[in-house]
Structure 1
Amino acid sequence: MPAHRSAFRFDPAFRVPLALLGVRPETSWVVVDDEALEIRFGPWRLRTDRANVTGAQTGGPYRWWRAVGPHLSLADGGVTFGSSTATGVCIRFGTAVPGLWPGSRPRHPAATVTVTDPDALVRALSVPPPG
């Protein structure tokens, strides 16, 4: 599978506050290829083997205070990298992965991202990795 790159959707109201955190369109993306899933959200990074992705589904719309910026869900321990209140993608992992803070803790069972084309990202993640 050729690499699939998704840009984050940036709602105009959140561009300046996110830019103050270092989160801008040119520093934020999701890349999926045969080997890995990589999420970059300004200074935040999450990377895992492609085989660790167990599912993906669209969700939203979201409340801004729960979805904009980097967030840890107190309900399930998932991480959100959000730049929009519109539809996003929840990506589930077989083995929880670090992503919100430097180091190996906390580990997240899922990550939600607010990309410009959620359906295309879900399709890319639905293609089984080789092997």
Structure 2
Amino acid sequence: MTDVYPFEFAPRYRRLLGLLGIRPDNSRVVVADGVFSARFGRWTLTTPLSNIMSAVPTGPYRAVKAIGVRLSLRDSGLTFGSALDGVCVAFREPVRVLGPRPHEALTVTVADPEALAAHLGSLISRP
């Protein structure tokens, strides 16, 4: 079974994101065949579901810290942001996508954060 979670694109930021090549047609989270995959324009993070430690709805965020592809200055988190609410997905083993260090977490601003968090929560294996 394949579950697809589209990103929420706040109208205010759609044009800016489009200039970066990030559009609704090339941005989504897919949960299928034991794999979590988030695509945001040309950026993709893929990891086995067994690598997910938690998934928590978060927000609202400040736009300056959430819109676009963002590296956290506090930790090794990564954000794929197109709106001001989302889900923070934490990993057991960091995943490398962008920048000098692998990412301990990914925040995704999908249209239904609660549904994605609940779905991932039901699939997370507890150690």
Counterpart of 1:36 in structure 2 is 35
Which consecutive unaligned segments of at least 5 residues does structure 1 have?
A: none
For the pair 1:121 / 2:122, whether they are aligned, the reply is: no
TM-superposed CA distance for 1:129, in Å, is 5.9
Relative distance call for 1:54 and 1:34 in structure 2 (3 A) is: farther
The 8 Å contact of residues 79 and 108 in structure 1, kept in 2 or not, is answered as yes
Which consecutive unaligned segments of at least 5 residues does structure 2 have?
A: none
Counterpart of 1:96 in structure 2 is 94
For 1:123, give the aligned amino acid.
A
TM-superposed CA distance for 1:18, in Å, is 0.3
Q: Which runs of 4+ in 1 moved over 3 A?
A: none
Q: CA RMSD in A?
A: 1.4
Aligned residues: 125
Relative distance call for 1:27 and 1:39 in structure 2 (3 A) is: same
Q: Note the alpha carbon deviations across 1:24-78, whole angstroms, 9 max, x for none.
A: 0000000112411000000000000110001000110010010000000011110
TM-score using structure 1 length: 0.90
1:111 to 86, 94, 106: 106
Relative distance call for 1:129 and 1:34 in structure 2 (3 A) is: farther
> 1 CA distance for matches of 2:124 and 2:62?
33
